[in-house]
Amino acid sequence: MDKQPTSRSCFLCGRENDIGLKMTWYNDYEAQQVFSELIVPSGFNGYPGVVHGGIVAALLDETSGRAVMLNGEHDGLFITTKLEVKYHLPTPTGQVLRVVGWVVKQNSRFAHVGAEIRLSDGTVTARCTASVARPPRKFFEITNWTNEEEHWRVDE
C-alpha cells in the first residue's frame, strides 16, 4: 500500500495546519480503494459526542475525490462538482473511524466516485456519491496552486 501526498495547509491533510485533522490516505490496490483512519476530536462536534455534519461531508468529499489517485497519478487533481451525502447514523467523536473511497467510473476529465465512514466494527455511519472533474487552468491561477504545489508530497 502506498501513501498519498498531503499538503501543508489543507484542513484535512495539512501538515502545518494547527487546527486541521492531519489525515493520511493510503492506496489499497487489491481492494481498489483509498482509505484513512482517524479519531475526530470533540472540538469538531455538532451535538456532544457527534461529529458535525459538515465535517462528515468534508471527510467524505476528500476521500472520494482522492480515489482518482489510485492509479498513482498524484498530480492529476480533480475538484468536486457535486456531492450527495447520506447520513445513516451519528458519527462519533473520540473513536477510530475508517474513511474509504472508490471510483465508480472515470475518464480523463470526469469521474463518479463514492466514499463511506465506518466504525471499527464496520458499521457505516455516512456515505456519499460525488462527481469530480479536472479543474480548468484558471483554477490554478485563482487558487495560487503553483506556489503551493512544491509542498504537495508524500512524507515518510
Q: Which residue has the cell 490516505?
A: 25
- What span, in angstroms and rounded, lies between the C-alpha atoms of 114 and 129? 4
Mean per-residue pLDDT for 88-109?
Answer: 97
pLDDT at 144 over 80: no
Q: Which among 57, 75, 65, 134 has a CA at the least distance from the CA of 103?
A: 65
| pTM for the model | 0.91
**Which domains are delineated in the chain?**
2-140 (3.10.129.10)
Contact between 35 and 42 (Cβ < 8 Å)? no
In the chain the first and final C-alpha atoms are separated, in Å, by 13
Per residue in 123-134, pLDDT tens? Answer: 999 999 999 998
Other Cβ atoms within 10 Å of 14 Cβ, number: 18
pLDDT of residue 78: 87
Per residue in 29-63, pLDDT tens? Answer: 999 999 999 999 999 999 999 999 999 999 999 99
Half-sphere exposure of 4 (CA within 13 A, CB side): 32
